[in-house]
Structure 1
């Protein structure tokens, strides 16, 4: 939609979650290793057998990029994980505060599995730590840098709204593939790249998983990715650090009125998806009044024939700069 057709482009080529929960072993004198909602996929091998994690970045560079005090000893970070049980050697352990537990409660396991540093709101006792007041807000930015901004080599198409996100995302992926793109999809039922699919336990994974998976997709040869984006994904910063080529908004129904008790979750005063897109936002006709109230933009119909009713979808060109469902 930006004038670049797929044929005009060359093929471009791990937990301390904020949803931390009490482990099953609590109250029995022991704790199971921490894992938040959502399964993390294992890194695949990219082209030529090269790990999709890549060569990484110096910890001091990450510290400077987010305004954290550089640790006394810098190490090289090659990946990131917010699950202590899925940490791989070289990972940054993202240790977030939760309602019942804190990611740093599981720092020993993370270190034993190969974590070389941590990102948290307080210092780890066993790992050099990037300490920031609200680490969740920084995860996307940090992971994007660790993976050398691999998402920039991909055209990202987001789909959000209350109902119909998964189906629309999969249909969108099929359409992009038919147009000639090498397509990957990220939905609540799976993370599917050119080399196969993995299960997903969330509509939109945590930021560490999102960025690692996009890196894997890129290494596998994908040129476009269709992503299902939940409202929680935005408010919990799971898609921070990404820029969408196109964002589609389907609807806003009572499920979200009840959940949020307010429309502010998708208000333009919040960093919603419509302000994280480079070129276009698509709006269903049922949401046109909402779109007009949110966007300082021209809204025009997209459809077949003289009447857009044949394809009840509108497009709005957005001009605002950078980074809404079911959990």
Structure 2
């Protein structure tokens, strides 16, 4: 049994295309493999449930729909409880499209590396990549040979062998002020699956437990606007701080194994305009991250001064990526292993 989980929150624009791409990818897995797709609706207020319930799956594929509490991790936990796959669980974002060979490659990498706890697919931006600023905002995905992500798991489509790492109860430090915990919504636990799972897997099993299934490909909508890029950076900054408070023992993992770096050889192969885009990406990535950190520090300062403030939005919506797919990316050579 091949188990594929999809956590969906207000994904009516894309969930149908995602399910069709998953079904097409299931057909490419060698042998007659029965498959189940578990869609976890977590806090939907649009027509996502209607789209999923009216989806007609082909022979050998069953679709289950469940309701969970809001939150990506909550949805994945519920999926893991229901999944019947003995080997591993494959998790796919609800706003992306799998390449037909994506599941086949994820399954192959997990089978060839029994020591691997997770394998992630290459992320390919939809479109032709000719627009200047979207390439800047998504430069790491347009040029994965130039920007290396370290041992970090990328979470748009990945296989995980033992999802039990996400069941662990956060170790709440006694020195975390109750007001800070409320401001950062620490009671929710982790909200970013790839950030948390990367730390947990590396801490428990070492960096070699995360593999890049380079030939597996998943297409997604690139960030189109500076506002969306800023929100994405705010997500990363806030979640990094939240995880430091929830799991302080993982701080060393982040410092040693994560972080992005520019490969000199890859940079040398870029055309002049691409080098400019790379420099702008690095500049904006750092600048917006620092602005998000300053914004968070300001809120925490107000708390310490006794000023009543509402909890911050720890997971702002990146609106520009939530739209139907009209075209998918042209084939590119697979990214090299991270």
TM-score range, shorter chain: 0.3 to 0.5
Between structures 1 and 2, the one with greater helix share:
2
